[in-house]
Amino acid sequence: MIALYTALITGAIMAGLQAASAAPPGGEFPSKVPVPADNPMTPRKIHLGKQLYFDPRLSLSGDVSCDTCHNVAGNGSDGLPLSFGVLGRVDRPRHAPTVFNSAFNTVQFWDGRAKSLEDQAKGPLLNPIEMGMPSSGAIVKRLAGIPGYRREFARVFGGKTPITFEHVVQAIATYERTLVTPDSPYDRYLKGDKNALDKSAKQGMHEVSDLGCASCHAGAMFDNPGLPMGTGWFRKFPMIPTNPTCATYVREYHLADDPGRFDVTHKQSDEHVFKVPSLRNVAVLAPYFQNGSVGSLRTAVRVMAACQLGKTLTGLQTTNIVAFLNSLTGKFPVETMPRLPETPDSTSMMQVAKLQQNRRQLSPGSRS
């Protein structure tokens, strides 16, 4: 009897361990985005934010907009390892992350230096390489010189001085909170559609859990374990540079050239530390890593296994993990360029659109 009881208990424990191992990583796509109390979303504010997001007149040269590097008709990035800013200058060695689902990021930028979308929007506008505006006052002055924007800011924000730098970034952030990609095959699987994932993707899902990938890529967005907004989830990358395979990747892809969060905190412990990126839509977000040096998802998976986990994957493991990562691609909204207010000197919508189109031809983000 004791032997039977022991066998039953052992069996139950083993079954529990197997069930835990088989538990899906991450979680279902959130039903709503977090919205700060001091910046509520309204249809008019969304529309104004979209106009500002697409408007190249927010740059010093007049030909770079938010959409230039974060193309919402594509994958929310620009498909380039490094982005071109004003005057054709290349930004510092960091790849432009996607704007899609950025509303769920608890902190923004690779180094986590911005704690909100509003704070993030300030950076590129005033960065001398990205959009190059000399000051927040210069932005306000330029927008105040456009009658259509004067009317729209007054409708959205009211008050004696509706056009302020804070209102500009609040509007842009409000539009960005609409850029979400729900309903991936993985989400449908979690809702009960067991045919939403094929055999390879299901095996890859278990590999992600069993190998330890989910210890960093956790939660519904596969980027943190559910931390509050403004709280970063960071990891050193590369974590195990002494691993022989990782050392080869580090040299080939220059993975240890960027000081990472050290630039923000100036703490030695933050050298080569970066925000853990979301795995949502990762299959369509090549090139990969902070410097955009890796063009293939298969290679990126192998790099992560070697440099973060100290493991070498088989070809089949890599194939299965890539299949699972493909299942995290959600449904992108259809985004088209809004009509922009004309300037008093009769700069037409078509002229502004042509500037944007020229930029997009140089850097076409892709969802394919």
Per-residue pLDDT of the chain (368 residues; tens, 9 = 90+): 444 434 433 443 333 434 344 578 989 999 999 999 999 999 999 999 999 999 999 999 999 999 999 999 999 999 999 999 998 877 677 999 999 999 999 999 999 999 999 999 999 999 999 999 999 999 999 999 999 999 999 999 999 999 999 999 999 999 999 999 999 999 999 999 999 999 999 999 999 999 999 999 999 999 999 999 999 999 999 999 999 999 999 999 999 999 999 999 999 999 999 999 999 999 999 999 999 999 999 999 999 999 999 999 999 999 999 999 999 999 999 999 999 999 887 554 555 555 555 545 544 456 76
- Check residue 357 and give its pLDDT: 57
φ, ψ for residue 282, nearest 5 deg: -60, -30
Question: ∠55-92-361 over CA atoms, to 5°?
Answer: 45
How many whole angstroms separate alpha carbon 207 and alpha carbon 217?
A: 13
Q: How many residues comprise the chain?
A: 368
Q: CATH classification of 43-180+332-362 is 3.40.50.2300, yes or no?
A: no
- Check residue 37 and give its pLDDT: 98
Domain boundaries, the chain: 24-31+182-326, 43-180+332-362
And the tokens for 323?
């299949």
How many whole angstroms separate alpha carbon 156 and alpha carbon 247?
A: 53
- Check residue 17 and give its pLDDT: 37
Q: Supply the DSSP symbol for 268.
A: G
And the tokens for 255?
């993975």
**Cα–Cα nearest to 284, from 269, 273, 295:** 295
And the tokens for 295?
């063009």
Burial 206-233 (b: 16+ CB within 10 A, else e): bbbbebebbebbbbbbbbbeeeeeeebb
Residues with Cβ within 8 Å of 238's Cβ and at least 6 positions away in sequence, in order, are 246, 249, 250, 255, 256, 272, 307, 308
Domains 24-31+182-326 and 43-180+332-362 are alike in CATH topology: yes
How many whole angstroms separate alpha carbon 120 and alpha carbon 117?
A: 5
Average pLDDT, the chain: 91
**Considering 130, 152, 207, 335, which one is annotated as catalytic?**
130
Q: Supply the DSSP symbol for 288.
A: B
- Check residue 172 and give its pLDDT: 99
To the query of whether residue 252 is one of the catalytic residues in this protein, the response is: no
- Check residue 348 and give its pLDDT: 46
Please state which CATH class domain 24-31+182-326 belongs to: mainly alpha
- State the residue for tokens 């932005």: 139
Q: At what angle do helices 136-144 and 117-126 cross, to 10 degrees?
A: 90
